[in-house]
Chain A
C-alpha cells in the first residue's frame, strides 16, 4: 500500500443526547476531494471515489489508505459492492465486466464477463456466496461466486432489465424490481418466479427486506414505498407522499426502521433528506437534510453517513 499524502484522522467529540442524532465519528483528510463513498458492512473500511478519478480503500477507524486504484485501473467502473463480511469488493464496468477484488489489498481474485452492457447493479447475498449482476437494459443475473463464477439463473422482464434487487435475510428469496415497473420474487434455489407485484407504475430504485424477512419494501419514482408480502407478492401497505424519488432503502439495525434516501427528479442535483421510517407507524424522522452527503449505509450495526468538504471527509454515526 502506498500513501503519498499526509493523512490525519481526528476523532471528534460527540455529546450524548436523549434523542438520536448524528455524531461526528471521524474526520479524514484525503489527497483529493471525495465524490462518492461506500461503507463496508463490517465497518472496517470505506471505499472512497475521488475527484482525481482514483478509488481509495480506507481503513477504519485509523484512516489509513490500504489501497489506491489508479485512474486507469478504475476507469469505467460503474458499480461497486462489498461482500457482507467486508472481505471482497465487486467492481462492475462496461461491457459486462465484473471483478472481485480482495478488499485489503485491492488485488483481483476473479474476473469475468456477464454480458455486453455496462454493469449498473451489484449485490451480494447475505452468505456472500452469490452475486446479482444487473446491466443496463438487460435482465438481472444471479452468479455463484464462492468458486469459479457460475451463472445460476437470469431473471426476466417484459422489456429492459433489472433496476434494483434485494435478498431475503435467509437468502431464500431474491426480489427483483425491474425497469418494466414490475416487482418479481424468485426462489433463489430454483430460479423460479414465485410471485410478482404490479402495483407500481414507475421504476423502483430502492428495495429491501425487513430484518425478520416477513416483508419486502419497494419504492422509486412513484414517490411511494410498498410493503410487499414475499410469498404472495401482494401489497400489504403503501406509504405514499414520500418527499422525492426513493433512491435506496436499507434495513436499520434495530429491525424497526428503514433508512431511506431520495433524489430529486426535476433537478437531480438538489439535496434531498435522508429519513428513518418507522415500520410500525410509517412516521419518519430526518437523519440528514442531505447537504454534502456523499454516502450512507449500515455498517457494524449502526447507521453511518459521510459528508465531504474539499479534501476533508467526515464520518457521522447515528445514535
Chain B
C-alpha cells in the first residue's frame, strides 16, 4: 500500500489516472486538476472575528518584546503566520496587539503591552509578553488583535488561553463560559517551555485573512 503522505497531490492524481481509478472530464488536464486539488487542500477558513473591545490605542510602537526585565507575571511567547484563505503566507501584514498586564489592567496613558508588528517574508510574526490577567466584566484572559493587509478585510479578533482556569481544563466544552468567545478555535493550547527556573508559556496563533 502506498502511503498517501509520501506522494505529492500531483503524483497521486497521476497514479490514479494511470490505474483508471479517476477519470477526468474532457476539458480538464491532469496538471490543472492537481493544481485545483492542491489549492483546495491548502485553503483555510478565515480566523473567526471577535469584538474590538473598548481600549484599542492607535500609533502603538513596534516592539517585539513587550515584556520588560523584572515584569511580574508568567512570561508569554506568541508566534504564528498570517495567511490568506488560499493558504498563502502574507508578508508585510500589520499585526496590532494589545492586552492587559498580569493584573488585568490596560495601559491607557502609555503603550505598555501594546505593539504594532509586521509579518516577515514568510508571513511570520511573534512577540514576547506576559500572560494577561483577568479583570471585572470580562470572563477570560485574552489578547486583542487587529490584523490588516492590502487587498484583505481587516481582522479583529482575540486570542484565548486553553489553560485559563475559566475553562476548567476543557476549553472545547467550556469556551462559551465567556459569551464574547465566538469560536473554540480562538482558544489556543499553551505549551510550557524552558527550564524550570525560567519557564514561559508558548502559544501558536495562525491568522487567516479574507480577501476584501
Residue ranges of A at the interface with B (Cβ–Cβ < 8 Å): 136-137, 158-160, 179-181, 201-203, 205, 221-223, 245, 265-269
Contact = CB atoms under 8 A, between A and B. Distances in A.
B55 A203 contact: yes
B158 to A, nearest CB: 12
B52 A137 contact: yes
9 nearest A-B pairs in the assembled complex, by CB-CB distance: A159-B154, A160-B52, A268-B137, A201-B58, A181-B58, A268-B136, A202-B57, A266-B105, A201-B57
B108 A265 contact: yes
A266 B49 CA distance: 25
Interface of B: 49, 51-52, 54-59, 105-106, 108-109, 135-137, 146, 148, 154, 156
Please report whether the interface of chain A is mostly helix, strand, loop or mixed according to DSSP.
loop
Contacts of A221: 54-55, 57, 108
A245 to B, nearest CB: 7
Given A180-B58, A181-B58, A201-B58, A136 B51 contact: yes
Contacts of A158: 154
Contacts, number: 55
Nearest to B147: A159
A265 B53 CA distance: 12
Given A203-B54, A269-B137, 6 more contacts: A160-B52, A160-B154, A181-B56, A203-B56, A221-B55, A268-B135
A287 B106 CA distance: 28
Contact of B156 (A159, A181, A201, A203): A159
A137 B108 contact: no
B54 A160 contact: no
B72 to A, nearest CB: 16
8 contacts: A159-B146, A160-B154, A179-B52, A180-B58, A202-B55, A222-B108, A268-B137, A269-B137
Nearest to A245: B108
A2 to B, nearest CB: 32
